Amino acid sequence: GQPGQPSFGGQPGPAGQPGPAQAAGGSDFAPFWFAVPVARPLYAEDGSSSTIAELAPGTWYLAVEQRGQALVAQTQDGRRGVLQDTTGIQRG
């Protein structure tokens, strides 16, 4: 089953982060909020080169899985894809 999806009602603010629940499965990865420094393409999870979305600076996205150097990110409308270039991202 899928872990409970976080609510996207409020943005993480400087006063305190709403820590996403620890991912089940015993991995060391815990979901976290992040923002990109420049617009970055989000690729389909099946490994194809098709772009499903573009991540824009100034918006928070949820990293839900780590795949090597890449992150699986979830957009605020619920789409998931692979961010291959994670250089310079800002963790929330």
- The domain segmentation of the chain, as residue ranges, is 32-86
Q: Are strands 90-91 and 80-83 parallel, antiparallel or unpaired?
A: unpaired
Amino acid found at 47: G
Distances from the Cα of 53 to the Cα of 15, 21, 24, 56, 66, angstroms: 29, 25, 27, 9, 18
For the domain spanning 32-86, the CATH number is: 2.30.30.40
User: Per-residue pLDDT tens for 29-68?
Assistant: 899 999 999 999 999 999 899 999 999 999 999 999 999 9
| Alpha carbon distance 85, 77 (integer Å) | 21
pTM beyond 0.85: no
